[in-house]
């Protein structure tokens, strides 16, 4: 780290190194498991979001931002490990999952360890008192409650749009919100701007999940790095399906009775308008997010990065 801060590109590399270091330097009893996870690291969009928001007017990012960025990715990785156990997933980003290779019990314990590693990484900041309003446990509890609400509603074909949006506000949007909020705190944003950054993160997370909902039904079988149509097979109710269930005569009864096979569900959601509706909801969140970016006093580079994150969330490709 250069004295006084790092450039954005330097900060991203340092955060990646921090995550790799946490995975490779874990205690010997768990190191094989955490080492396996290095092969399935994602695109760091949450860490990139935090670092983008943390950049000051001179284009510099502090060491504290790097620590928090590494911590947020470790938190995210922990949730993925647990998700794979719940979903009984065989692959994650094209790599065999921890639970498939080493068993569910070891995977659950490894996920718990990653949560601890994330908190330890976050505690490495230079002045903890400065960041007392960053409540990581609160954000993690919101993620857990969102996941619990989703699990409770498995196979609930009467789940409402409101109920579903409440689920994804926790399970996906909370960590994005945390990333944007942490970055804004680190760069010294005032209270009014902190609220804007927080909402921007929340909206970005909602867009990310809604796009994922569509991808699950739109991606060809061989085009994704994870199973497609898996939500439908596992009884996970997402917005495209909710719209179709509510707006297509006889569809809910046919689904409830198991008369709509996986091979036909995509066509049903497309013809019902469920995918178009979900995209339209995502587009509305994008419009709101764009207005927030325009309302913030940003350097050209910082604005471009935030717009890029928003675009990646809105038009993701595996």
- Find the helix packing angle between 161-171 and 136-152, rounded to 10°: 140
Residues whose CB falls within 8 Å of the CB of residue 86, separated by 6 or more in sequence, listed in order: 147, 151
- For tokens 């005032």, what's the residue? 190
Question: What are the strands, taking DSSP E only, across the chain?
Answer: 91-92, 95-96
Answer yes or no: do 197 and 302 share one domain. Answer: yes
- Indicate if 237 and 200 belong to the same structural domain: yes
Query: Which structural domain range is residue 225 located in?
Result: 133-318
Q: Which of 76, 106, 132 is the last residue of a domain?
A: 132
What's the chain's length in residues? Answer: 318
CATH of the domain at 63: 1.10.600.10
What angle do helix axes 239-247 and 262-272 make, rounded to 10 degrees?
A: 70
- Residues 253 and 226 placed together within one structural domain of the fold: yes
Residues 89 and 147 in one domain: no
d(CA 288, CA 295): 11
| Average pLDDT per consecutive 10 residues, the chain (318 residues; last block may be shorter) | 78 96 94 90 91 95 95 95 92 90 96 94 82 84 95 96 97 97 94 97 98 87 59 91 94 90 86 96 98 97 97 81
- Judge if 198 and 58 occupy the same domain: no
Within this chain, do residues 112 and 256 fall inside the same structural domain, yes or no?
no
Of 77, 97, 132, the domain-final residue: 132
Long-range contacts at 221-227 (CB < 8 A, ≥ 24 apart): 223/318, 224/318, 225/91, 225/92, 225/93, 225/94, 225/318, 226/89, 226/91, 226/92, 226/93, 226/318, 227/89, 227/90, 227/91
**Residues 91, 235 within the same domain:** no
For residue 6, give the 3-state DSSP assignment: strand
Single out the residue in 80, 99, 132 at which a domain terminates: 132
Domain check: are 51 and 38 in the same one? yes
| CA distance linking residue 199 with residue 189, whole number of Å | 14
Question: Do 64 and 6 fall into the same domain?
Answer: yes
Task: Rounding to the nearest 10 degrees, give the CA dihedral for residues 163, 168, 174, 179.
Answer: -150
Report residue 267 as tokens.
């066509």
Same domain as 273, residue 156: yes
Task: Look up residue 133 and give its two tokens.
Answer: 């309003």
Total domains in the chain come to 2
Q: DSSP letter for 61, please.
A: B
Tell whether 80 and 152 lie within a shared domain: no
My answer on whether 128 and 142 are in the same domain is no
If we measure between CA atoms, which residue out of 33, 95, 64, 51 comes closest to residue 183?
Answer: 51
């Amino acid at each position: 780290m250069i004295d006084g801060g790092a450039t954005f590109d330097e900060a991203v590399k340092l955060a990646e190194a921090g995550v790799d270091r946490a995975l490779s330097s874990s205690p010997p009893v768990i190191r094989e498991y955490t080492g396996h996870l290095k092969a399935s690291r994602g695109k760091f969009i949450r860490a990139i979001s935090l670092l983008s928001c943390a950049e000051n007017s001179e284009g510099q990012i502090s060491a504290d931002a790097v620590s928090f960025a590494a911590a947020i990715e470790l938190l995210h990785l922990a949730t993925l490990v647990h998700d794979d156990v719940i979903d009984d997933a065989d692959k994650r980003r094209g790599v065999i999952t921890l639970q498939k290779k080493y068993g569910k019990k070891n995977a659950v314990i490894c996920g718990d360890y990653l949560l601890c590693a994330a908190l330890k990484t976050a505690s490495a900041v230079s002045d903890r008192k400065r960041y007392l309003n960053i409540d990581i446990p609160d954000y993690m509890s919101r993620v857990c409650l969102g996941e619990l609400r989703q699990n409770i509603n498995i196979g609930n074909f009467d789940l409402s749009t409101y109920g579903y949006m409440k689920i994804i506000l926790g399970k996906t949007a909370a960590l994005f919100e945390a990333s944007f909020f942490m970055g804004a705190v680190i760069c010294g944003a005032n209270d009014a701007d902190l609220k804007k950054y927080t909402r921007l993160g929340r909206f970005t997370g909602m867009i990310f999940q809604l796009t994922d909902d569509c991808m699950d039904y739109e991606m060809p079988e061989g085009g994704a790095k994870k199973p497609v149509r898996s939500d439908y097979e596992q009884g996970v109710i997402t917005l495209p399906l909710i719209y179709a269930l509510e707006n297509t005569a006889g569809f809910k009864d046919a689904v409830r009775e198991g008369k709509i096979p996986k091979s036909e569900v995509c066509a049903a959601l497309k013809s019902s308008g469920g995918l178009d509706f979900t995209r339209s909801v995502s587009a509305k969140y994008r419009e709101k997010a764009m207005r927030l970016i325009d309302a913030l006093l940003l350097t050209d580079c910082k604005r471009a990065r935030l717009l890029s994150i928003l675009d990646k969330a809105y038009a993701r490709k595996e």
